[in-house]
């Protein structure tokens, strides 16, 4: 049976698209994207999913208490029998309820070398801090912001002439590459957890 991926997003959806491409190309074998859920109406990621013929659902989060909202999302993921949940530019903190319901089954991609620069505008934070290396992180999700055990990171050198846009673009390219790798590792259970460390196995 194919493993079923549920994607949560809030906006552009380029990481979703990279995952969908990897599934289609067999780089994430034996898997399918079961549903794409957005908390924002009009998220371009939803149109991208629709044009690929993938099931979508918009569940507006505005005004809802965190757990009340997360229960609605969890119900849709259950309905689509999601084995793994991939956050792809999903700009919401998850409730303890949601995290406990899907233990070690939620991944996030973040555009920094965590634990540096969590939160918003990470690429700008990195430039302003003056780091020489930036990058991205795929990690398991816990109820803290951009925390949780790290599966893969990719490093991008910061150039003197970089702007937020140019650095973000180079990081995004790496995001698209490593997210698929991490999803494959997790779906194939080719890792073991030792404390916070995610060690790769064969
Ligand atoms: C990506 O850069 C992703 O790493 C970031 O939002 C962007 C979404 O782009 N996520 C976070 O900052 C999560 N804390 P996308 O919609 O094109 O995938």
The response to whether residue 11 sits with its C-beta less than 6 Å from ligand 1 reads yes
The token duo for 132 is: 């020489």
User: What class does CATH assign to 1-102?
Assistant: alpha beta
Residue 199 pLDDT greater than 90, yes or no = yes
Mean pLDDT of 105-127: 98
Would residue 110 show up in a list of annotated catalytic residues for this protein?
yes
Q: Note whether 50 and 17 are within 8 A (CB).
A: no
Residue 154 pLDDT greater than 90, yes or no = yes
Write the residue with the smallest CA distance to atom 7 of ligand 1. Answer: 89
In sequence order, what are the residues at sequence separation of 6 or more whose Cβ sits closer than 8 angstroms to the Cβ of residue 101?
A: 74
Q: Note whether 200 and 189 are within 8 A (CB).
A: no
Write the residue with the smallest CA distance to atom 2 of ligand 1. Answer: 111
Q: Residue 3's beta-bridge partner residues?
A: 31
Report which secondary-structure segment, H or E, holds 180.
helix 164-187
Asked, colleague to colleague, whether 1-102 and 108-202 share their fold, the answer is yes
DSSP tag of 161: T
The response to whether residue 173 sits with its C-beta less than 6 Å from ligand 1 reads no
Give the integer Cα–Cα distance in Å for 135 and 200.
Answer: 20
Counting residues of the chain whose pLDDT is more than 90, the rounded percentage is 97
Residue 143 confidence (pLDDT)? 83
Counting residues of the chain whose pLDDT is more than 70, the rounded percentage is 100
Mean pLDDT of 30-42: 97
pLDDT band at 71 (very low <50, low <70, confident <90, very high): very high
Residue 202 confidence (pLDDT)? 81
H helices within the chain, ranges in order? Answer: 14-25, 44-51, 66-79, 96-101, 122-129, 164-187
Residue 111 confidence (pLDDT)? 98
Q: Note whether 92 and 116 are within 8 A (CB).
A: no
Distance 39 CA to ligand 1 centre (A): 14
80, 110, 139, 176: which one is catalytic? 110
Residue 90 confidence (pLDDT)? 97
Rounded to 5 degrees, what angle do the CA atoms 118, 122, 127 make?
Answer: 130
pLDDT band at 160 (very low <50, low <70, confident <90, very high): very high
The tens digit of pLDDT for each residue in 182-198 reads: 999 999 999 999 999 99
Distance 16 CA to ligand 1 centre (A): 10
Mean pLDDT of 114-125: 97
Distance 43 CA to ligand 1 centre (A): 13
**Which of 42, 91, 111 should be mutated for ligand 1, with most atoms under 8 A from CB?**
111
User: What class does CATH assign to 108-202?
Assistant: alpha beta
Average pLDDT, rounded, for the chain:
97
Long-range contacts of 79-83 (CB under 8 A, 24+ apart): 80/4, 80/6, 80/34, 80/35, 80/55, 81/4, 81/34, 82/4, 82/5, 82/6, 82/34, 82/35, 83/3, 83/4, 83/5, 83/187
| Domain ranges within the chain, ordered by starting residue | 1-102, 108-202
Q: What is the number of the ligand 1 atom nearest to the C-alpha of 123?
A: 2
């Amino acid at each position: 049976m194919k493993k079923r991926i549920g994607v949560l997003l809030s906006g552009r959806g380029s990481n979703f698209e990279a995952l969908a491409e990897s599934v289609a190309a067999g780089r994430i074998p034996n898997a399918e994207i079961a549903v794409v859920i957005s908390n924002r109406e009009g998220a371009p990621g939803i149109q991208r999913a629709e044009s690929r013929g993938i099931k979508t659902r918009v569940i507006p989060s505005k005004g809802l208490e965190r757990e009340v909202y997360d229960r609605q999302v969890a119900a849709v993921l259950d309905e689509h029998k999601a084995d793994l949940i991939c956050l792809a530019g999903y700009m919401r903190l998850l409730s303890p309820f949601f995290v406990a319901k899907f233990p070690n089954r939620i991944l996030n991609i973040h555009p920094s070398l965590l634990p540096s620069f969590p939160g918003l505008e990470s690429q700008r934070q990195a430039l302003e801090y003056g780091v020489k290396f930036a990058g991205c992180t795929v990690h398991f999700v816990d109820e803290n912001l951009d925390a949780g055990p790290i599966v893969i990171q990719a490093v991008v050198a910061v150039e003197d002439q970089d702007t937020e846009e140019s650095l973000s673009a180079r990081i995004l390219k790496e995001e698209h590459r490593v997210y698929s790798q991490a999803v494959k590792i997790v779906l194939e259970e080719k890792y073991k957890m030792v404390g916070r460390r995610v060690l790769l196995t064969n």
